[in-house]
Amino acid sequence: MEIINFALPALIQAFDLIFTWEQISWLVVGVVLGLSVGIFPGLGGIAGLSLVLPFLYGMDPVSGLAMMVGLVAVIPTSDTFASVLMGIPGSSASQATILDGFPLSKNGQAARALSAAFVSSLFGGIFGAIVLTFFIIIARPIVLSFRLPELLMLTILGLSMVGILSGNSGLKGVIAACLGLAFGAIGEAPALGSPRMDFGNWYLQDGFQLVIVGLGIFAIPEIISLMRHDRSISKSGGLGKGWSDGVRDWWRNIWLSLRCSSIGVIIGVIPGLGGSVVDWIAYGHTVQSSKDKSQFGKGDIRGVIGPESSNNAKEGGGLVPTLLFGIPGSASMAVFIGGLILLGYDAGPQMVKNDLPITYTSV
């Protein structure tokens, strides 16, 4: 009750701050920028937020927050276009969507896949915001409880998903995982900064970016395939019908969407994981919890609903360590902290304690 009495006035004041024509206008500007950036494969929230940083100088703090949050909140939705329609990950958080979204697009059901993805993202985003509303006060002991052993177990959990995602080709899955670990080890060690496997090459010291690797794995083979066949991606040449079917598909799998949204929030809360793994873990859960697994990878709508519910919910979770401790929940949240500094605020306990209404405007 004491927590509610402490947070409720700040939440009401945050609504008063954000629901003005000026702030709503800046929010719309951020949403439009986020949609524009997210459609282009490989850019994502880091590039979008980096582009708006120079414009934050001298802005009203609430206006700047509205623009930044509006931008970062819609990128996990807009990157679905590239994943479903072209088989190219719009960002690192939409790679798993390709596995079933792109086959649906090839079969002339792109509208159905996009509709299910958008409704799932909407649900995941709202769920993440609701959780963030309460977690922003009570999540401190939860976040601090994750230390090296817990992070190691989460890493093992992510690697164990290889067995689920590989289907009948277990050996290929293990080989792919080993190659991923080998490529991921290239570059400077995060803790010590010592070079690893760069072979004296300056270009390898930064390592391989996940989005670039994803573009190479998914985009280049598909582009070559389209050039060879000289035809449209969809057999029918259009998006097809089924916008309402996608909504009904989501409703039939609403408990799956709720579970994957919960996964997204939990993964988002853990600093450093973010969008690079959340969709794969959600996809693995979707496959593992389904009785009929025969259509996954061939165009199962559940393979779209699961990842899309989680990758938008993780934004709410990612703001928990970002706002509570000043520890970025993901790479895009690191840029978000830079934006807060430009607006005159330092993310962390002092912001939650002294500027709680401003903190809740982010929600």
* Closest by Cα among 127, 137, 185 to 320: 137
pLDDT tens digits for range 72-100: 878 777 777 777 777 777 666 677 788 88
CB atoms within 10 A of CB 172: 12
Alpha carbons 120 and 113: distance in angstroms, whole number = 11
Residue 127 has pLDDT above 80, yes or no: yes
Q: What's the mean pLDDT in 300-326?
A: 80
Residue 126 burial (C-beta neighbours within 10 Å; 0-12, 13-18, 19+): middle
Q: What's the mean pLDDT in 279-285?
A: 82
pLDDT tens digits for range 140-176: 566 556 677 776 776 676 666 665 556 566 677 778 7
Alpha carbons 90 and 35: distance in angstroms, whole number = 11
Q: pLDDT-based confidence at 231, cuts 50/70/90?
A: low
pTM: 0.67
> Which pLDDT score, from 0 to 100, does residue 146 have?
64
pLDDT tens digits for range 317-339: 777 777 777 666 666 777 777 77
Question: Which residue did the predictor score with more confidence, 89 or 28?
Answer: 28
Residue 229 has pLDDT above 60, yes or no: no
pLDDT tens digits for range 251-270: 888 898 888 888 888 887 77
CA 252 to chain centre: 23
pLDDT tens digits for range 166-185: 656 667 777 877 887 887 78
DSSP reduced 3-state for 188? strand
> Which pLDDT score, from 0 to 100, does residue 319 have?
78
> Which pLDDT score, from 0 to 100, does residue 88 have?
73
Residue 203 has pLDDT above 60, yes or no: yes
> Which pLDDT score, from 0 to 100, does residue 197 have?
79
**Region of poorest pLDDT, from 131-135, 208-212, 251-255:** 208-212
Both structure tokens of 91: 């960002």
> Which pLDDT score, from 0 to 100, does residue 79 have?
76
Alpha helices by DSSP H, the chain = 2-18, 21-39, 44-52, 61-78, 80-85, 97-106, 110-138, 140-144, 148-165, 170-184, 210-214, 220-229, 243-252, 254-269, 275-288, 302-325, 331-342, 349-354, 356-362
> Which pLDDT score, from 0 to 100, does residue 254 have?
87
Q: What's the mean pLDDT in 110-136?
A: 83
Q: Which residues contact 68 (CB under 8 A, 6 or more apart)?
A: 30, 49, 52, 56, 336, 339
Q: Where are the domains of the chain?
A: 2-362
Q: What's the mean pLDDT in 212-222?
A: 63
As a whole number, the mean pLDDT across the chain is: 75
Q: φ and ψ at 317, to 5 degrees?
A: -65, -40
Burial call 290-322: b when 16+ CB within 10 Å, e when fewer: beeeeebeebbbbbbbbbbbbbbbbbbbbbbbb
> Which pLDDT score, from 0 to 100, does residue 72 have?
80
